[in-house]
Amino acid sequence: MEIINAREEKLDLTYPCSWCYKLIAGEKEALEKAIHDVIEAREHKLTHSNNSKSGKYVSMNLDMLVHNEDDRNFIYEALKQHQNIKMVL
């Protein structure tokens, strides 16, 4: 599978693979609820990344196994559309 990143370099992904989503939300608890709503009981690792200077936002890394490109994109879109998540990178 080949995708093009912002620098237009091709990445070669072999599935299944570990994938990291960077998530930004207003508060940690809301972010954790959104993750539970989207991926339910799938195994994952959630780690703190950063807080905004004003403390208004928190960013966290969600690491998990994705089985194929459709799975990876479905999770991305579902996280992006969740009301508790401000941004997915």
For the stretch 33-66, pLDDT in tens is 999 999 999 999 999 999 999 999 999 999 999 9
Place of tokens 């089985």: 67
Helices (H) and strands (E) in the chain, counts: 2, 6
Q: Are strands 58-66 and 44-51 parallel, antiparallel or unpaired?
A: antiparallel
Domain assignment present for 11: no
Q: Is residue 32 part of a domain?
A: yes
Q: What is the pLDDT of residues 60-88, one digit of tens each?
A: 999 999 999 999 999 999 999 999 999 99
18 belongs to a structural domain = no
**Domain containing residue 74: CATH number:** 3.30.70.260
The reply to whether 31 falls in a domain is yes
For residue 68, give its domain range. 27-88
CB 89 within 8 A of CB 30: no
The total domain count for the chain is: 1
In a domain, 6, yes or no: no
pLDDT digits (tens, 9 = 90+) for 7-25: 556 667 999 999 999 999 9
